[in-house]
Every structure is written in C-alpha cells, then in structure tokens.
Structure 1
Amino acid sequence: MPAVAGLSINAVHHTINMVFVGMIGSQEIAAITIVLPILMMVGAIGEGLGVGVATAVSRALGGGDPRHANVTASTLFMLAIPVGLALTAAILLFRRELLILFGASEPMLPLAEHYLAIVAFSVTLTMLQILSDFIAISEGNTRFSMWTLLGCFALNIVLDPILIFWFGFGLAGAAIATILSQIAALVAYLVYFHRRVGTLHIAARFVAFRTDVLKPVLLIGLPVSLTSMLSSASFAVLFTFAGFYRGDSGIAGIGIALRVLTLGMLPIIGLSLGGQAVLSFAWGARNSQRLLAASGILIKLTSAFAFLYGLGVVLLRHRVAAVFTADPAIADIAALTLVITHIPFIFFGARQILLVLLQAQGRARLAASIGVAQNGYFLLPLLFILPHWFGFGGVLASLFIAPVLTALLSSALLAVILRQLRGRSPSSSITSFNSTVSERTS
C-alpha cells in the first residue's frame, strides 16, 4: 500500500503540474503534451532497468543470496549515470528534430523546445530516482519510497506557483520546479543508501559489470523499456493525427485525458510493484502456493480499483475536463476522450498483474508480448487505418479498440497461467510448472 500511495502521489504531482500550466494557456498544455512522449522514452529506459533490478534483487533475496542482491543494485545504479548523461546530450542536440517528429506545430515549437531544453538536464536525476524507488521497493521498504515521493510532490506544488507566476518564468518555471523537487528526492535516497536504512547496501566496491549480474536484469528490463518506447512512439503518431484533424485543441484534449488515465494507472502499477517483490521472492524461494495466493489478491484489488476509477471518471468527465482548461473546444474533446479511454480501463488491473507475474518468473518474452500489445501491434495499425476513413473519430476509436483487444488477450493468458498454478501439487517443482505453462501458452 505504501507503493500505491507513493505512485499515486507521483501521479497527482504531474496532474497538478498540468493544472498550473493550464492556467497559463492552451498552447502551453499542447507544448508539454508534445514533450510527453520524449520524456516517456527516457522514463522507459529507467523503468526497464528498475523492473529488471527489482526482479533480480527480490529473487536473490528469496534465494538467500544478499551479496548478489547488493552487487546487482550497485552495478545498475552506477550504470544509470553515464546512460542518463548520454540521453541528455542527445536530447539537447536533436530537440528541435524530435519535437517536429512528434508533431509540434510552428506556433507551439518555441515553447516546447524551451521546455524540453530545461527538462533535458533532469534526465540523469530521473533515471537515478526511478532506480532508487525500485531498489527500495524490491527489499520491501515501500514506506520510504512513499514518504520520499510525498516530500518531492509537496516541494513541487509549492515551487510551481512561485516559479511560474511570481517569478514570471511561465512554462520554464514548471520545468525548474520539477528538477528542484527531483534533486531533493535524490538527496533523500543518497542518505538512505549511505546510512543503510534498508537491507541492501549500494556502494562502489559492489559494482561488477559481469554477465551474471547484467544478463538477468537486461532480459527482463529491455523488453519493458522497448515496450514503453513503443508506447511513446505510438503517442507521437496519436498526437500527430490529433493535430492534423483538430489542431492544438485536439492535442491538448487528448493530452488531458491521457494525464487523467495515468492518474488511475499509477496506483495499480504501485500495487503491482509492491506485489512484484512478493511474487519474485516467492519464485526465488520456490513457494508456488504463496505465488498463487498473492496473485489472486493482487488481481482482485487492482480490478476493483480500475472499475471504480473508470466509472467515476466517465460519470464526472465534464467536471474533470474543466479542472484543466476553460477552453470549451479543448474541454469537449477531453470529456469525450475520457469516456473512450476509461471504459476499457477496467481491465487494466488484471493485465498489469499478469505482466508482473510473468516478470517474477523470468519469462521476459511472454511478458514483452503482452506489454507491447496495446500501444504496439494493436494501436499503431489502427491509427494508420481508422483515421484515414473516419478522421478524428478514427483516432478516438483506435484509443478504444486497442485496450479492448489487449484485455481479451491478457484475460485468456492469465486464465491459463492461474489454472496451471491451481493444478500443481505442493510437491511439484516450480521448474516443472514453468515448462508446462510455456508449452501450453506457446
């Protein structure tokens, strides 16, 4: 539950950021919406490394090997620094080309370029903060992650109006506020690791760029990163078509709906992250009964939340849209998109737990095939077909059909895996079960 609270706080943080930006103007909302896929690509790399580290560390702890857990966590933490610096340099060098590729219009381009140039300097901080969160969660210390994110959120909310309005920095003020709050969060984590508050110890002497350390992390992490990168590419195509048919209003309206959708997704992801430590530990300890019991609880909790959140957003769509903008054209598009995106959202919980269950078992390929489904081989083809026939309505239809198809695929696979888990006898080996499920699902 602290992981849920922590990521929920993070979602509220970014949502309120957008509310403050909306007070400046509609073009500013469109500008940060265009920058969003680029930041998602950065986050995708951090997320992939984080998921890989969390899974590997939890399995090592479950298998009674804390030293290997320390080596894995320390190695990937240090690896994030040069990766982050390289990404910052790439964004600064090619930011204009990236924004044009992602659908920025001429009036919006200067705003988006200025905003992206500032947030580019936060890339390494973002990578390190994501990894720190995952490492703390992997050893079960979700409370520290929660309080750190809460402090980061509170600082950002205080700084936003000061830098945006009082100092008159505008959109740049929102970017600077985010960077300062990230620095504060990272300082808290450095203290956490230095004083060894948790079980793990992050230190330079544990760093080992060996195959046995990197391979398990990358096998799980790379598919997660590629999935998120493909999602950001899909959003770039989505915003391009939205801008083509409805201009900046279309981009801003869909951007608002996706922010609200993220607000609902992150608590579910938070619960699955907390659960991932349990599932991975159970897999490492070969405790299949606990694996099944924890999976069942997670599916029930996430599905119930997804249903209630989706229903609430659909019923209150006009009020939710009005929070972000006073422009009637943008608000109408946002309200309609909220309905389209939140009806299929009720299946997101089961899909997310399926992904975590597969990652805990080390089944990277199957996890990748599910993770990439919605925004990959479902959404992208739909975006290239339906808008050609139905215009902006085709864009919105694609946003609805892709998650529905993903839900059907995920539900079928989850049913197979849970049936096999229930059919196992307590004396059966978990390795035998893995082989059986692989044969069935292939």
Structure 2
Amino acid sequence: MNKITNKFGTEKISKLLLKQAIPASIGILVMSLNMIVDTIFVGRWISVMAIAAITVVLPIAFLISSIGMGIGIGGSSIISRALGKKNTYKAYKVFGNQVSLTVVLSLSFVFIGTLYCSSILELFGANGNIIVPATEYFHVIIWGIPFLAFAMMGNPVTRAIGKPNYAMFTLILPAIANILLDIIFIKFMNLGMYGAGLATSISYAVSGLFILWFFLSKNTELKIIPKYFIIDFSILKEIVSLGGITIIRQGTISVLVIILNFTLFKYGGEISIAIYGIINRVMMFSLFPVLGVTQGFLPIAGYNYGANDSQRVKESIKTSIIFGTGIATFIFILIMLFPSQLVGIFTDDKELLNQTPNALIIAFLATPVITTQLIGSAYFQAAGKALPALLLTLLKQGFFLIPLVYVLPKFYGINGVWISFPIADILSTLITYFFLQREIRLNLKINN
C-alpha cells in the first residue's frame, strides 16, 4: 500500500490528478451514459410519462444509496489522512466500520421504503399519470439499492488507496449490464417499466458484488476483515461528521427534487417534469469530466493535508480548478451551440423538442464557474473540516436553489425554474471562492 499511496506525496500534482481524474471521469461518463440510454429507451419504447416516472423515482433510490456514498466519502477522507500519517491500523479500522454501517443502514432504509412506498412516491411528486409507472418501477429497483449503497461506499475507498481503475470499473460494469438488460427486457421481452426496473436493479447488484470481490481478493492491500466490523464509536463519530455531509447534501437534493417536481407540475404539468428529466440527464453526462477532476482531487488533497505539506495542497487546489474550469467552459460552448441536437437524442416528441432546448440553455448559463465551488467544498471535506465542508456543499441546492425554485416561478412562470440554476451557481461560487481564499491565506501557509 505504501508504494502506491506514497506517490500522493511525491509525484507531480498534474500527473497525479490525471491518473486519478481520468478513471473517475470515465466511470462517471459510463454511468451517465447508462442513465441517458435508460431515459432514451423508456422514452422511445415505453412513453413520455415513463421519463417523468424515472425522474421521480431515481432521486429516492439515490437518497437511500447516498448512505453508502456518504460513509464512503467520509471514511475515505479519514483513510487518506491516516495513510498520509502512515497509520495503516486506523485505515483498516475505519474501513471495517464503513462496511458495517453501510449494510445495516441501507437494509433498514429499504425496509422503510418498501413499507411506505405510496406515501414516498407522492411526496417526491408522483402526480397524475406518473403514479402508475413510477410505482411499478420503484417496487423493482428498491431491492438493488443495498448493492448500490455498498458500491458507493467502496468506490471512494478504492481511490483513497491508489486504485482508481477499480473505482472506474465499479461504475462501468453495471452501466454495461443495465444497457444490455434494458434492450432484452424492454425491447425484446416487452416488460415495460417492470423490465426497466429489473435491469436497473440487477445492474446495481453487479456493481455491489464487484466491489465485494475487490476487497476480498488479492488485488488490494485494504481488505474486508471481520474483526474490524465491530463499531468503534470514536471512528463512527469521525465518519459520520464527514460522511454526513454527503448524506445531508443528497437529502437536500431530495428536498429540491420534491419542490422541483411539484413546481414543475403546477406551472407546466407532466411535460415539464419530463423536460427536467432530460436536462438532468444532460447535466450528469456533460459535466462528467468536471466531477472526475473533483473526485481525483480528494485523495491527493487529503493525503498531503495529512502529511502537512501545504505547498502540495495549494498546488492541487490550483491545478484542479484550472483543469476543471477549462473543461467546463468547453462544455458550455457545446451546449450553447447544439441544444436542439442534444434534446433530439432523447425523444422525438414534438412538444419536448419545442420546449426543452431553451430551458437547457438557461440552466447551463453559469457552467464555466462551477469548478471553483466543487473544488472549494471538496477541499474542506478532504481536510476533515466538517462544518465548512457541510455549509459550502449545501450552498447551491440548499441555500439558493430551493428558495429560488420556490419564489421565481411566481413571477416568471416555468422559466423561473430554469433561471434558478445559473443564479444559484454564481452565488454559491462567489461565497465558496471567498472562504477558500481565506483558508489558503490563514491555514495553508508555507513554512520556508
């Protein structure tokens, strides 16, 4: 483990970032393509309402799986800093506690989700003609969510121990499985929403079982060892303080989805929920390299912060922001030039083709500035500073987007929803930049 992780403290930052970011980006790309293809298949082979149903259900699945994601990101931050301090024992203890927490909590929430299925779907905006396909889809995919939670827990840990390629495969394998199974279950077997849900649920299982194999195999130095499953409350507190950031953020996103779906339904009907479904897929797909840079940045910053190397921490922040901003600007230009072509990939419905391109352009107006906000909040998480990490992570969705989505449509109708996205991006970036510069000035001083 030392040979691999020691490179975080010695290798050139730009080279390290590429090694970490490229596999992360590829994994996110394939996962995003998976969701895009899923949306295309249900939109063309089932109905427009099927797109709206998936738009309602998937945030619920991701909310439950975010338990694993939060435990994974919080624990991997601790593991990165422990390895920077050469404390291998603590890394093993943290990982064992991560496994226990993920299994127990994800199964508990699946039980709750199954018991209160109808109420949860209604809460998340399953109205009108969306209710029936959403219920059918939800009943199937919920059984795959524990596997997804386990995969999301293990994914950032593989990057923390210097194995980003395996983190990439955690996202690639289920995406391939889902696409193939979609074709079989929806196109050839004509199973409709049940088939779409079955394909998704099996793909989650593929991802979770791959991570399980990885940490049981000889290919990794950090293994699943039962003696470390016993909860250590001091470690639990540390994992929860950092991992809770991701869980609260996903919870905030879920509240946003509830408000978005009800607002969209109120001002534009089911069709507006389908429009947002397409915009959301484009966001996930187009921003994959920026998110990859952020994921690549985390273990580098965490390791060097643990090693008290302020120079390399500062360099990793600067390099990541430069890379990410350049990529985000290129993405912005492409979307401004080809909005109709992008929408046409998902649907041939005339109403969607007429309304979605304009909404897409508005939602992406602030894309060039988003990297600073992402890297800024990620830095505080990598450094183990839970409170500022939490506040900065919640800036866009919690402090700005939710109020804006609620207020602006009262004055600008459905366009008020789309305008909310760039305004929230700009405001959250400005505040994050201020706090990041303050942190660099006060706490990342270089001792000559």
- What is the TM-score when the length of structure 1 is the normalising length? 0.92
Q: Which of 208, 212, 218 in structure 1 is aligned with 2:234? A: 212
Distance 1:425 1:81 in 2: 42
SS at structure 1 position matched to 2:287: helix
Shift of 1:225: 1.1
Distance 1:234 1:184 in 2: 30
Higher mean alpha-carbon deviation, 116-125 vs 387-396, is at 387-396
Distance 1:191 1:38 in 2: 27
Change (3 A) 1:420 1:19: same
Is 1:279–1:291's contact at 8 Å kept on the other side of the alignment? yes
Is 2:275–2:352's contact at 8 Å kept on the other side of the alignment? yes
Pairing 1:374–2:375 present: no
Shift of 1:151: 2.4
Match in the other structure for 1:65: 87
Pairing 1:95–2:117 present: yes
Pairing 1:170–2:184 present: no
Distance 2:245 2:212 in 1: 28
Distance 2:355 2:398 in 1: 24
Shift of 1:167: 1.0
Task: In structure 1, give the amino acid aligned to 2:81.
Answer: R
Match in the other structure for 1:431: none
Match in the other structure for 1:351: 373
Task: In structure 2, give the amino acid aligned to 1:94.
Answer: Y
CA deviation vs aligned residue, 1:376-415 (integer Å, no higher than 9, x gap): 1211222222212222122222233222211221222233
Match in the other structure for 1:383: 405
Is 2:28–2:292's contact at 8 Å kept on the other side of the alignment? yes
Shift of 1:274: 2.1
Match in the other structure for 2:210: 188
Match in the other structure for 1:435: none
Match in the other structure for 1:156: 178
Equivalence map 1:3-402=2 (5 Å): 3-23=24-44, 24-402=46-424
Shift of 1:363: 1.2
The answer for unaligned runs of 5 or more in structure 1 is 428-442
Change (3 A) 1:399 1:272: closer
Change (3 A) 1:95 1:266: farther
Distance 2:128 2:415 in 1: 25
Count residues in correspondence.
426
Distance 2:232 2:386 in 1: 20
- What is the TM-score when the length of structure 2 is the normalising length? 0.91
CA deviation vs aligned residue, 1:93-145 (integer Å, no higher than 9, x gap): 11211121222223210110110111111121111010111111111100112
Is 2:171–2:207's contact at 8 Å kept on the other side of the alignment? yes
Task: In structure 2, give the amino acid aligned to 1:214.
Answer: L
Is 1:37–1:236's contact at 8 Å kept on the other side of the alignment? no
Higher mean alpha-carbon deviation, 248-257 vs 332-341, is at 332-341
Q: Quick one: percent identity of the two aligned structures?
A: 26
Is 1:254–1:333's contact at 8 Å kept on the other side of the alignment? no
CA deviation vs aligned residue, 1:37-74 (integer Å, no higher than 9, x gap): 31231233222111101101111111111111011112
Task: In structure 2, give the amino acid aligned to 1:12.
Answer: L
Is 1:275–1:298's contact at 8 Å kept on the other side of the alignment? yes
Distance 1:275 1:234 in 2: 27
Is 1:311–1:342's contact at 8 Å kept on the other side of the alignment? no
Is 2:287–2:331's contact at 8 Å kept on the other side of the alignment? no
CA deviation vs aligned residue, 1:319-359 (integer Å, no higher than 9, x gap): 11111111122223321221112121222211111111111
Distance 1:67 1:76 in 2: 14
Shift of 1:169: 0.9
CA deviation vs aligned residue, 1:224-253 (integer Å, no higher than 9, x gap): 211221112112101111111111111100
Distance 2:364 2:415 in 1: 16
Match in the other structure for 2:9: none
Distance 2:404 2:370 in 1: 20
SS at structure 2 position matched to 1:107: helix
SS at structure 2 position matched to 1:129: helix
Task: In structure 2, give the amino acid aligned to 1:253.
Answer: I
Distance 2:239 2:359 in 1: 37
Change (3 A) 1:101 1:344: same
Distance 2:212 2:239 in 1: 22
